[in-house]
Amino acid sequence: MNRYLYRSIYNKIKSRALRVVAIKIYGALKQPYYRISVDTNNLCNLKCVMCSLSLPGGKSSSQIMSLTQFESLAKEVFPKTRILDLSCGFEPFMTKNFIDYIRVARKFCQGHIAICTNGLLIKESTIDRILNENLLDEITISIDGLSPETYNSIRINGNFRDLLQVLEALKEAKTKIKSNRKLFLRLNYTLMRRNIEELIGIHDFASKYSIDCLQLRHMRLTSEFTHLFSESLYFHQELSDRILKIVCKDKRPGSKITIMTPPLFSDTKGVLTTKNSCVYPWFNFSIFSDGSVKLCNFGKIGNFIDSGFKSIEASARLKEIRQGLLQGKYKKYCHDCHRITDVMDVHDVSSFIQGDLGLRYD
């Protein structure tokens, strides 16, 4: 099932208990239902201004998950995985021979396999292999500006013109290679004051590069980013709404592009998912290059390299969290979770900025 359709059905169920029942039925029918993200390294070639990797001390000593470790994870977990994101907080192509990791993922995961990348390290030969061997269902390329000036000012060490070459190569390969599996191309655009107005040109850009989906997300900042607070669109609500409305309305005739936007500030409808109905702890795990397994707001719940994944799934800690949530104790467990405010209450400043707002304006 298309991942966006699945998500929209999931969002329509409002009770946590019912969502858990739905997930259990899915599991009992031997359908994969996990959503797993794996970072095989903790590195990046860029230092984007809004990313924690640009902070002094943001870079820790390098840690790469070996292919053997990845394969043992894949055997244990990927057969149960419906959505596999092969990158989350770092740059996947910083892992040497990353294509071999993708091949292993495809071997064990029958679900939707995606990567999110800045795109700048992808070689044409890699694109050809991904398409020829049907290795991925989706590539998300992060692009936070549609001009060299804006893009290069955000994606430090990146180069807009190089990225255009990668997009061109992807487009060409997609038209050349006749594959029975479609490679979905998505753009991630992190919204902030300096780049929002450039979105006016997004539909021409998207049709030029055959983009299937555009995901617009607000920049979220922790307290270390006081210098960027004034760029948060929480402080430019009218401008943000005006541009997002144009982007949603302005699709080119015949365009099949999916546009995913955050809610408008002027929208008074409720949020999609709230903490009292969230069931992430039943299916959503993030796995890091040192083997640690993290569960949304609960942090590390184990290390698959030390203990295997099954013992983490059976752990007392995981059971206690799930039981507590089913008993309605979400205020205790989830009060400072920002993953769900992300989905997204735009009227709550903590969806944008976590911590002290003292210095937000110039």
Ligand X SMILES: C[S@@+](CC[C@H](N)C(=O)[O-])C[C@H]1O[C@@H](n2cnc3c(N)ncnc32)[C@H](O)[C@@H]1O
Nearest approach, Cβ of residue 44 and ligand SF4 (Å):
3
Tell me if 47 sits within 8 A of 156, measured CB to CB. yes
The site that binds ligand X (CB under 6 A) totals a number of residues, namely: 19
The angle subtended at Cα 286 by Cα 300 and Cα 44, nearest 5°, is 105
Q: Which does 219 bind (CB under 5 to 8 A by kind): ligand SF4, ligand X, none?
A: ligand X
In whole angstroms, how far apart are CA 11 and each of 7, 71, 139, 269, 271?
A: 6, 33, 24, 14, 10
Interface with ligand SF4 by CB under 6 A: which range of 44-52, 69-77, 235-243, 318-326?
44-52
Nearest-approach distance from CB 52 to ligand SF4, in angstroms = 7
Distances (CA, A) of 324 to 22, 34, 301: 19, 20, 16
Contacted entry of ligand SF4, ligand X, none for residue 87, CB cut-off 5 to 8 Å set by kind: ligand X
Task: Decide: helix, strand or coil at residue 51.
Answer: coil
Does the footprint of ligand SF4 cover residue 139 (CB under 6 A)?
no
Q: Which is nearer to ligand X, 47 or 322 (CB)?
A: 47
Instruction: Decide if 189 contacts 215 (C-beta within 8 A).
Output: yes
Distance between CA atoms of 232 and 219, rounded to whole angstroms? Answer: 6
By C-beta, is 195 or 277 nearer to ligand SF4?
195
Contact stretch for ligand SF4 (CB under 6 A) within 42-50, 97-105, 280-288, 326-334: 42-50
> Which residues between 197 and 236 bind ligand X (CB under 6 A)?
217, 219-221
Binding mask of the shown chain, residues 86 to 105, with x at each position contacting ligand X by CB under 6 A: -x-xxx--------------
User: Is 190 an interacting residue with respect to ligand X (CB under 6 A)?
Assistant: yes
CB nearer ligand X, residue 64 or residue 177: 64
Q: At what angle do helices 98-108 and 67-77 cross, to 10 degrees?
A: 20
Among 13, 22, 50, 349, binds ligand X (CB under 6 A): 50
Q: Hey, which residues between 62 and 101 contact ligand SF4 (CB under 6 A)?
A: 90-91
CA angle centred on 288, ends 282 and 289, rounded to 5°: 150
CB 170 within 8 A of CB 126: no
* Other beta carbons within 10 Å of 70: 22
Instruction: Point out which residues bind ligand SF4 (CB under 6 A).
Output: 44, 46-48, 51, 53, 90-91, 118, 142
